[in-house]
Structure 1
Amino acid sequence: MADDAAAERRKREFEETWDAPKGLLGVFQVIDNIPIAVRYMATSFAFFLIGGALALVMRLQLARPDGTVLDAQTYNEFFTMHGTTMMFLFVIPFLEAFANYLIPLLNGTRDLPFPRLTALSYWTYLFGGIYIYSSFLFGAAPDGGWFAYVPLNLKQYSPGHNMDFWDIGLSVAEVAAIGAAAEMIVGILRMRAPGMSLNRMPLFCWALLVTSVMIVFAFTPLIVGTAMLELDRKEMTRFFDARYGGDPLLWQHIFWVFGHPEVYIMFVPAVGVLTHVVQTFARRPVTSYTLMVLALLATAFISFGLWVHHMFTTGLSPVGMGFFAAASMLIAIPNGIQLFGWITTLWAGRPRWRTPLLFGVGGVVIFLLGGITGVMVAAVPFDWQVHDTFFVVAHFHYVLIGGVLFPIFAGLYYWIPKFSGHLLGERLGRWNFWTMFVGFNVAFFPMHLSGLRGMPRRVYSYPTGLGLDVLNLVSTVGAGIFAVGVLLFLVNFARSVRGGAPAGRDPWEGDTLEWSEASPPENAQFARIPVVRSRHPMWEQETLLPVPEDDADVADAARQLDHAPSRWRGSLVVGVLDGRPLALAHLPRKSPWPFVMSVGFTIVFVAALVEIGWVFWVGAAVTLVALAGWFWPLDTERVAIDELYAARGEGARGGQATVPADAPAPAAPGPVRLPLPVGDRSSNGYWGTWVLLAIIFVSLGTLVASYVYLGAGPSPVPAA
Structure 2
Amino acid sequence: MSTTAAPVPGASREQLDRLEEHWGERPSLRAWLTTVDHKKIGRRYLVTAGLFFALAGLSALAMRTQLARPEAGLLSPQEYNQLFTMHGTAMIFLFATPMLFGFGNFLVPLLIGARDMAFPKLNALGYWIFLFAGLFMWASLPFGAAPNAGWFAYVPLTGQQQTPGLHMDVYSLGLLFLGIATAAGSINFIVTALKLRAPGMSLNRVPLFVWAIVATGFMVIFALPALNLDNAMLFLDRRFGTHFFDPEAGGNVLLWQHLFWIFGHPDVYIIVMPALGIVSAVLPAFTRRGVVGYVLVVFAIVAISIISFGVWVHHMFATGLPRLSYSFFSAASTIITIPSGIQIFAWLATMLLGRLVVRVPLLFVIGFIVTFVLGGFTGTMFALTVFDQQVTDSYFVVAHFHYVLVGGAVFPILAAVYYWLPKITGRMYHEGLGRWAFWLVFAGMHVTFFPMHLYGLFGMPRRVYTYPSEPGWDAWNLVSTVGSYLLAVGLLLVLAGVVHAIRRGRPAPPDPWGGDTLEWSTDSPPKPYNFAVLPQVHSLHPTWDESSRESMGAGAEADRVLADGRRTLLTSELDGRRERVVEMPASSWQPLLLALAMLLFFTAMLFAWYPVAAVAAVAVAGTVATWLWPPRRPERELGVSA
Q: Mark yes or no: TM-score above 0.5.
A: yes
Corresponding residue for 2:576?
579
> C-alpha offsets along residues 607-637 of structure 1, whole Å, 9 cap, x if unaligned?
21111222112212321332233124458x8
Corresponding residue for 1:561?
560
Query: Distance in 2 between the 1:348 and 1:136 partners?
Result: 51
Alpha-carbon offset, residue 584 of structure 1: 1.8
Cα contact 2:68–2:478 (8 A) shared by 1? yes
> C-alpha offsets along residues 491-538 of structure 1, whole Å, 9 cap, x if unaligned?
111111011122200000000000000000000001210110000011
Query: Distance in 1 between the 2:13 and 2:636 partners?
Result: 21
Query: Distance in 1 between the 2:346 and 2:510 partners?
Result: 28
Equivalent of 1:391, from 391, 396, 418?
396
Aligned: 1:240 with 2:237: no
Write the mapping of 1:549-698 to structure 2, written as runs, cut at 5 A.
Answer: 559-562=558-561, 564-566=562-564, 568-633=565-630, 638=634, 640-641=636-637, 644=638, 655-656=640-641
Cα contact 1:20–1:32 (8 A) shared by 2? no
Corresponding residue for 1:138?
143
Corresponding residue for 2:294?
289
Corresponding residue for 2:187?
182
Equivalent of 2:53, from 36, 48, 56?
48
Alpha-carbon offset, residue 21 of structure 1: 5.2
Cα contact 2:212–2:276 (8 A) shared by 1? yes
> C-alpha offsets along residues 585-612 of structure 1, whole Å, 9 cap, x if unaligned?
2210111000000011111111211112
Corresponding residue for 2:35?
30
Query: Distance in 1 between the 2:69 and 2:95 partners?
Result: 29
Query: Distance in 2 between the 1:640 and 1:102 partners?
Result: 30
Alpha-carbon offset, residue 225 of structure 1: 1.3
Cα contact 1:573–1:583 (8 A) shared by 2? yes
SS in structure 1 opposite 2:516?
Answer: coil
Equivalent of 1:346, from 334, 339, 351?
351
| Greater relative contact order structure (CA < 8 Å, 6+ sep) | 2
Corresponding residue for 2:489?
484
Query: Distance in 1 between the 2:112 and 2:539 partners?
Result: 12
Which letter maps to 1:330? I
SS in structure 2 opposite 1:585?
Answer: strand
Corresponding residue for 1:87?
92
Question: How many residue pairs get matched?
Answer: 631
Corresponding residue for 2:447?
442
> C-alpha offsets along residues 104-147 of structure 1, whole Å, 9 cap, x if unaligned?
00000100010000000000111100111111243211101101
Query: Distance in 2 between the 1:569 and 1:104 partners?
Result: 14
Cα contact 2:594–2:623 (8 A) shared by 1? yes
Equivalent of 2:67, from 62, 86, 89?
62
Deviates more, 1:120-129 or 1:230-239: 230-239
> C-alpha offsets along residues 675-709 of structure 1, whole Å, 9 cap, x if unaligned?
xxxxxxxxxxxxxxxxxxxxxxxxxxxxxxxxxxx
> C-alpha offsets along residues 27-78 of structure 1, whole Å, 9 cap, x if unaligned?
2211110111111110001000110100000000000000111010100000
Alpha-carbon offset, residue 541 of structure 1: 2.2
Aligned: 1:498 with 2:498: no
Corresponding residue for 1:455?
460
Cα contact 1:120–1:598 (8 A) shared by 2? yes
Which letter maps to 1:234? R
Aligned: 1:193 with 2:198: yes
Alpha-carbon offset, residue 543 of structure 1: 4.6
Corresponding residue for 2:18?
13
Query: Distance in 2 between the 1:573 and 1:7 partners?
Result: 23
SS in structure 2 opposite 1:138?
Answer: coil
Query: Distance in 1 between the 2:598 and 2:545 partners?
Result: 48
| Cα distance change, pair 326–543 in 1 and its aligned pair in 2 (3 A) | closer
Alpha-carbon offset, residue 460 of structure 1: 0.2
> C-alpha offsets along residues 463-498 of structure 1, whole Å, 9 cap, x if unaligned?
012110100000000000000000001111111101
Alpha-carbon offset, residue 305 of structure 1: 0.8
Deviates more, 1:356-365 or 1:495-504: 495-504
Query: Distance in 2 between the 1:169 and 1:157 partners?
Result: 20
Which letter maps to 2:559? Q
> C-alpha offsets along residues 611-668 of structure 1, whole Å, 9 cap, x if unaligned?
1222112212321332233124458x85743xx4xxx8xxxxxx426xxxxxxxxxxx
Cα contact 2:330–2:384 (8 A) shared by 1? yes
SS in structure 1 opposite 2:141?
Answer: helix
Query: Distance in 1 between the 2:360 and 2:292 partners?
Result: 22
Aligned: 1:266 with 2:271: yes
SS in structure 2 opposite 1:140?
Answer: coil
Write the mapping of 1:111-130 to structure 2, written as runs, cut at 5 A.
Answer: 111-130=116-135
Cα contact 2:360–2:431 (8 A) shared by 1? yes
Which letter maps to 1:594? P
Aligned: 1:224 with 2:209: no
Which letter maps to 1:614? P
Identity value in percent? 47
Structure 2 unmatched ranges of 5 or more: 1-10
Cα contact 1:607–1:615 (8 A) shared by 2? yes
Query: Distance in 2 between the 1:472 and 1:45 partners?
Result: 27
Cα contact 2:197–2:576 (8 A) shared by 1? yes
Which letter maps to 2:558? R
Query: Distance in 2 between the 1:67 and 1:24 partners?
Result: 48
Structure 1 unmatched ranges of 5 or more: 1-5, 549-554, 649-654, 658-720
> C-alpha offsets along residues 368-424 of structure 1, whole Å, 9 cap, x if unaligned?
000111011111111111000000000000011111110000011100110011111
Query: Distance in 2 between the 1:20 and 1:624 partners?
Result: 29
Query: Distance in 2 between the 1:302 and 1:138 partners?
Result: 42
